[in-house]
Amino acid sequence: MTSLISGLVLVALIAAAVVFFFSFIPIGLWISALAAGVKVGLFTLVGMRFRRVPPARIINPLVKADKAGVIVSVNQLEAHYLAGGNVDMVVNALIAAERASIDLPFERAAAIDLAGRDVLQAVQMSVNPKVLETPWVSAVAKDGIEVKVVARVTVRANIDRLVGGAGEDTVLARVGEGCVSTVGSMSNHKEVLENPDSISHTVLSKGLDAGTAFEILSIDIADVDVGRNIGAELQTDQADADKQIAQAKAEERRAMAVAKEQEMRAHVQEMRAKVVEAEAQVPLALADALKSGKLGVMDYYNMQNIIADTEMRDSFGKLKDDKCNENSTKPGTGAGPEVEE
């Protein structure tokens, strides 16, 4: 009984060892590589297991590259995988570049992939250019009329400048800036409507793809539309601002005039108070003159007669003036305003 149990345990250990051996060492993947003509050592696959690199992630792209005639090594693919790159994407990009006769070394493709760009899409864009469309670009000509432009930019990826080069947003921003400056340099918005290709020729000649990851092949104006009269709106706003400034200055002058008027009224009242004060001193001075004998009683009565006579003459003059004013207002007297027949 004991020998039977020992035999079963031995068989179980052997079966477990066989299962562990075939699961840890990818014999099937090794045989597939050899059948495809790719020489990979069995201990290399075991080393990948120890380095926690899935052998299929390396061997399958290696077989694909070898069948396509692209020369890469296991160490290159494994190093790129350990660096966080997409091995299968890089191999596909190398195969596409080889078919399109584009010079793309593995180091450059790996650098592009590690930089976060889609290296396969970059190769495809080198073969098949991409069309980028700008949003509505608003520009103002010299006559003050707003012109809205939509441009389509045909670009091709520049493999040599993909690492460190600016992206699509920069290209679109530069094209929009070029459209604004070109339209702004035209004396009349009708020139833009008559010759929209002048915008594309001017913008294309400025070399806007410098420092970018693309090469601009053409710039085409897709749509042109006339917007608002910006010049008239600015003049209207300026006129409103000038009017408000003038009103504010007029209000300031009015307030100063009112203040001056109030000041002068206060000054008049002050002068009248001084006159009243001076007139109040006259009777006292007359009393002192009579008391001291400097003024006689007859002199005082003569002065009173003169004052009364002066007041009488003033009253006669006022009556005469009032009568003349009444006669001038009557029609047919010949004085005053003329009456139309």
pLDDT digits (tens, 9 = 90+) for 85-106: 888 899 998 998 888 888 888 8
Q: Give the separation between CA 54 and CA 75, rounded to whole angstroms.
A: 14
Strands (E), the chain: 130-133, 137-140, 145-157, 214-229
In this predicted structure, the answer to whether residue 177 has a pLDDT above a threshold of 60 is: yes
Question: At residue 182, does pLDDT exceed 60?
Answer: yes
Domain boundaries, the chain: 23-117, 130-230
Contact yes or no for 221/196 (Cβ under 8 A): yes
Domain 130-230 in CATH 3.30.479.30? The answer is yes
Q: What is the pLDDT of residue 340?
A: 42
Q: What is the pLDDT of residue 250?
A: 92
Going through 26-184 in order, the beta strands assigned E by DSSP cover: 130-133, 137-140, 145-157
Mean pLDDT of the chain: 81
pLDDT, position 50: 75
Q: Which residue has the tokens 């002048």?
A: 198
Give the integer Cα–Cα distance in Å for 224 and 336.
72
Average pLDDT over residues 63-86: 87
Residue 7 has pLDDT above 50, yes or no: yes
Write down the pLDDT at residue 329: 61
pLDDT confidence band for 21 (50 / 70 / 90) = low
pLDDT of residue 281: 85
pLDDT in tens, 284-295: 887 888 788 777
Token look-up 């792209």 returns 61
Worst-scoring range by mean pLDDT, 7-16, 210-219, 296-305? 7-16
Residue 195, pLDDT score:
80
